Amino acid sequence: MSMMRGKLGNARATGHRALSWVPVALLVLMASACDNSNTSDPATGGDSRTVSHAMGETTVSGAPKRVVVLDTGELDSVVTLGVTPVGAVAVSPDIGFPEYLTGDLTDVTEVGTIAEPNLETIASLKPDLILSNKLRHEAIYSQLSEIAPTVFTESVGATWKENFELHAEALGLSDEAQDQLGDYDDATAKLRKDLGSDVDTTVSVIRSLGDEVRIMMKDSFIGAVIADVGLPRPPAQDKDVFMEEASLDRVPDMDGDVMFVSRFDDANDKLETLMASPAWEQLAAVQNDDVHEVPDDYWELGTGMGAAQLVVGDLDKILGELGTSSE
């Protein structure tokens, strides 16, 4: 079988650092000088609404036009709903936006990284809505909410559908989100039907992050998508946790009838070590040539509706090629 290889786009160093020393009052003053305030720009139109979220309640007016997003799931949501943000964080200092989304983000300003959003840059963009999550940015919520109305989900990953609905509510696009969720449900239902009710192909998912290799479990974005399709996981991966770290003595736990491997970057020393071990050669997926490399940017990094749709497409194509579909 030919291998599918995913690679994130070229790194774009932002040069931004979070200015934690900048007083909040100064940031608010800067925002006010740019005609920004905690209420949405009247140009957004529409009635205001109160959005309940992980940090409390936030009033949002109309359909926000100047949206800043501070994580990949939020970025996926706004783009999938047809909104181009004015600002978004880079994945890291060396990696810009997820490659599968970059075609929609040509004019989007980088506002630091996921780990270190740049509050000064965010304020300068005069946002009328900021989207992020409590897991990443609880510590700076109050500063963000003084710049613009800010809505946080509780977490990321396995909760991607609930997060998508909350993002849509904040954007005033709940009807559009329900349409997309319906399309996703139709796609997963069709794939389940194509695979057959008695399919027993176990799906293993492995992620390489340089000096760490993760065995992805059920309580993750990719675990949730695989569950939606109705595919079983190998016993060692059939756990309601996010992931467990792979090691030489755990290579057997990486096995499945089909294995999907993604690589976060080009440094895969730990993965190469595991793949060079005698235990790797004994894996059923390896012996049957059913190890498939897939793009990390949407299999693991995207954590949103757009990414989920692409994963379902990959599963349909690859499992169909393997002849697992019922006749």
pLDDT value of position 47: 81
Distances (CA, A) of 262 to 23, 46, 209, 295, 298: 41, 43, 9, 6, 10
What's the CATH fold of domain 24-172? Rossmann fold (3.40.50)
pLDDT value of position 46: 63
pLDDT value of position 322: 61
In the chain, what are the domain boundaries? 24-172, 195-321
* pTM for this predicted structure: 0.84
Token code pair at residue 60: 């949002």
pLDDT value of position 320: 81
Average pLDDT per 10 consecutive residues for the chain, totaling 327 residues:
34 33 41 38 66 98 96 98 97 93 91 98 98 97 98 97 98 97 97 78 95 96 96 97 97 97 87 96 96 97 98 94 50
pLDDT value of position 200: 81
The CATH number fitting domain 195-321, selected from 3.40.1160.10, 3.30.70.270, 3.40.50.1980, 3.40.640.10? 3.40.50.1980
The 3 state secondary structure assigned to the chain is CCCCCCCCCCCCCCCCCCCCCCCHHHHHHHHHHCCCCCCCCHHHCCCEEEEEECCEEEEEECCCCCEEECCHHHHHHHHHCCCCCCEEEECECCECCCHHHHHHCCCCEEEEECCCECHHHHHHCCCCEEEEEHHHHHHHHHHHHHHCCEEEECCCCCCHHHHHHHHHHHHCCHHHHHHHHHHHHHHHHHHHHHHCCCCCCCEEEEEECCCCEEEECCCCHHHHHHHHHCCCCCHHHCCCCCEEECCHHHHHHHCCCEEEEEECCCCCHHHHHHHCCHHHHCCHHHHCCCEEECCHHHHHHCCCHHHHHHHHHHHHHHHHHCCCCCC
Whether 24-172 and 195-321 share one fold: the answer is yes
pLDDT value of position 21: 35
pLDDT value of position 323: 53
pLDDT value of position 210: 86
